[in-house]
Chain A
């Protein structure tokens, strides 16, 4: 290195003020979102509750009552519904507000201007999305049981089910954030349908993966992270039903979570600082 290569240092200006601790600022940013989440609890309930509960009602009460669907289908379906609630709630609760905050109201600017690395603001969004996803999963369990009239109950499997749902929610949040920060606002609606619909229908919510007979469909479903959430929750609550082993679900979900976290934080940061 010669002196020519280095830029001439500017003379020191005023002594900078130290920045507050990142943990403290992160907590403050999170606190705002938690407060808003707490206030919107009923919104989450409606947002997540309606589709799965109607699904349960139609598949179990209606079709089951007509004898078209077996009576034990509901037990198999409910874990899938819990998994669906975790992932899609997280996805929607980060994507829709972010589209609004970046595209129209610019509300997020105040948090982006906090003395905190931008990536941590993104991580805060993922944390909140995960909290909302888990909340949805926890709420849908008893509500679904009410609709069906019974539910698989296996306390020993609950920690695993919770862990899988948490990973599923985190992944959902990351997918939502990546979409919301990269897609043009005009195309967000159509993309949501294009992405969300296959996630739901190829996610093994309604059926156990090992019982699939068409190889090509097994491959398609195996590419969907939703599958491992459904299978993981189902395996934890109904060990008797054939399912993908828990260790496979946890490994795939952890891998997907790491990759999607990296991707979504990168997308967020690129959107925030151009």
Chain B
């Protein structure tokens, strides 16, 4: 589990354990990873997985029960004060000093880290400008929106030029402009050799900036690799979601098994049907996906075109027979309960081009007298990997 980039690790975590008092399970349970300078490391996991506890230990706010953690080469347990000179942290909650203006927040923070007042003033001015905060730098902090507070906290973290920056859920509940600005600044820091450890739920968004991802659950590291490798290794090359109405006598598990036996299918799983109309939300799990909508007037034609590309005669026949059109209309216009009755949703993880598999899949379905209601083609994302590893149950 060595850092992917050259150079010695700037964060090293070794068999880290944390058990809170009056708790019968470890919040962090033998975690190990390392981060290189200039690397962006994503620590992802469901709520309560131990991410924030890990960050808390690395930033000296929590004491580890076992194991070792070094930040900038300093043992955070043995010499927390020196460790704090190496790092900066941007927490989830707004912890700005409300007795001070934004500019004073930056200046004072820098002086807490031994920067001279003159230098602190210069850095504050530069950072306020870079984060688009110069205009309101001398107004009271209460008047600041969530996005401004977040930008200010990141700017503050940079005033003492840390070797490692910890970002806990940096873009939670922010507008797209602020998110873009923050991701841009994070990339810029990486170029300057700052190591960044970030935790987030906005995984697909973060996947574009992180170099490596560690997925944590129940205090353990489930996997750790580049986002590309993780996605390819665990979720396959593509995902095909099928919403179908099986023949009344057919067994859902047998149907899933039949789909899973197709060539090129790595795994077939049954998904819960969305509570609302199947059509409206079928594609929700596929952010980067292509939606092949079957509902409405164009549905049949679109499907026929798709089928033609894939060379699947069965699908064209189905579309031509108008069976799909009827089902689609029912879903759109009818009540959700009636529209969703008897339907099943299957997700096929593919090792091949989805277009090549669409025909065979429809052939299997047609052979079992099942009607196809919706087809979704998507690229798997980090979120799929995440769900795959940590399950679908909410925490």
A-B contact count (CB 8 A): 120
Q: Given contacts A12-B8, A28-B111, are A273 and B62 in contact (CB under 8 A)? A: yes
Q: Which residues of A contact B99 (CB under 8 A)?
A: 32, 36, 39, 107
Binary CB contact string for chain B from 90 to 103 against chain A (1 if under 8 A, 0 otherwise)? 01011111111000
Q: Given contacts A12-B73, A115-B113, are A32 and B97 in contact (CB under 8 A)? A: yes
* Bound CA span A110–B111, Å: 11
Binds A, one of B80-88, B213-221, B299-307: B80-88
**For B20, B62, B74, B112, which residue has the most chain A Cβ atoms within 10 angstroms?**
B112
Q: B10 interface residue, CB < 8 Å from A?
A: yes
Q: A113 interface residue, CB < 8 Å from B?
A: yes
Q: Which residues of B contact A36 (CB under 8 A)?
A: 99
* Bound CA span A186–B9, Å: 44
Pair A109/B91 contact, Cβ less than 8 Å: yes
Q: Which secondary structure characterizes the binding site on chain B? A: loop
Pair B10/A19 contact, Cβ less than 8 Å: no
Pair A13/B63 contact, Cβ less than 8 Å: no
Q: B295 interface residue, CB < 8 Å from A?
A: no
Binary CB contact string for chain A from 28 to 68 against chain B (1 if under 8 A, 0 otherwise)? 11011000100100000000000000000000000000000
* Bound CA span A22–B82, Å: 10
Binary CB contact string for chain B from 153 to 192 against chain A (1 if under 8 A, 0 otherwise)? 0001000000100000000000000000000000000000
Pair A16/B73 contact, Cβ less than 8 Å: yes
Pair B10/A13 contact, Cβ less than 8 Å: yes
Which of A14, A31, A107 makes the CB contact (< 8 A) with B96?
A107
* Bound CA span A43–B276, Å: 57
Nearest Cβ on chain B to A270's Cβ, whole angstroms: 10
Q: Which of B47-103 contact A (CB under 8 A)?
A: 59-63, 68, 70, 72-74, 80-82, 84-86, 88-89, 91, 93-100
Pair A10/B91 contact, Cβ less than 8 Å: no
Pair A17/B85 contact, Cβ less than 8 Å: yes
Size bin of chain A's contact surface? 35 or more
Pair B84/A115 contact, Cβ less than 8 Å: yes
* Bound CA span A16–B105, Å: 26
Pair A13/B73 contact, Cβ less than 8 Å: yes
Q: Which of A181-202 contact B (CB under 8 A)?
A: none
Q: What are the 4 tightest A-B residue pairs by CB atom distance, in nearest-first order?
A: A20-B114, A114-B112, A115-B85, A28-B111
- Interface residues in chain B, defined as those with a beta carbon under 8 Å from any beta carbon in chain A: 7-10, 12, 14, 20, 37, 59-63, 68, 70, 72-74, 80-82, 84-86, 88-89, 91, 93-100, 105, 108-109, 111-114, 156, 163
Known: A13-B12, A32-B100, A115-B113. 13 other contacts (CB 8 A): A10-B70, A14-B72, A16-B86, A39-B99, A106-B95, A107-B95, A110-B97, A113-B60, A115-B84, A115-B85, A116-B81, A273-B61, A273-B62
